[in-house]
Amino acid sequence: MKIVVTDQAGEVHELEGLDGWRAMEVIRDWGLNIKAECGGACSCATCHVWVEEAWYGKLPAASDDEEDLIYSTLDQKPTSRLSCQILLSEELDGLQLTLTPSAAQT
């Protein structure tokens, strides 16, 4: 399966994803610009992505904790999610995400 990630510079990357991995882990593994400082504990909001509108509704709803963290970002949008909370599966093959400025490493 693949996920399609647009980085902060606007470049589009097709990344090989793995069933059961978190989107954040795939993005980090491929070396894109993602800070993910808490390592996937849903504690920091530095893996914040914008989900392509058509895909947003296909994701399980965000937890209250995740929503609080998304609210703490300066660049939130209605389709914001934390990529560490997106568990990949075959149904999400082709998932389109955009890395936000607030997820950048520096």
Partner 1 sequence: MSELIETDVVIIGAGPVGLFAVFELGLLDIKCHLIDILDRPGGQCAELYPEKPIYDIPGFPVVTGQGLVDNLMQQIAPFSPEFHFSRIVNSVEKQEDGRFKLTTDADETFLCKAVVIAAGGGSFQPKRPPVARIEAYEGKSVFYAVRKMDDFRDQDVVIVGGGDSALDWTLNLQPIARSLTLVHRRPEFKAAPASVNKMQELAAAGKINFLTGQVSHLEGDNGQLTAVHLSMASGEAMVHATRMLPFFGLTMKLGPVADWGLELNDNLISVDTEKFESSVPGIFAIGDINHYPGKLKLILSGFHEAALMAQAAKAIVSPGERVVFQYTTSSTKLQKKLGVA
Of 16, 19, 39, 63, the one binding partner 1 (CB under 8 A) is 39
Binding of residue 101 to partner 1 (CB under 8 A) = no
Structure letter (DSSP) for residue 68: H
Distance CA 38, CA 45 (A): 9
Structural contact between residues 95 and 27, judged by C-beta atoms closer than 8 angstroms:
no
- Per-residue binder mask for partner 1 (CB under 8 A), 60-99, x = binder: ----xx-xxx-xxxx-x-----------------------
Q: β-pairing, 48-51 with 95-99?
A: antiparallel
Binding residues for partner 1, rule: CB under 8 A, are: 37-39, 41, 43-46, 64-65, 67-69, 71-74, 76, 105-106
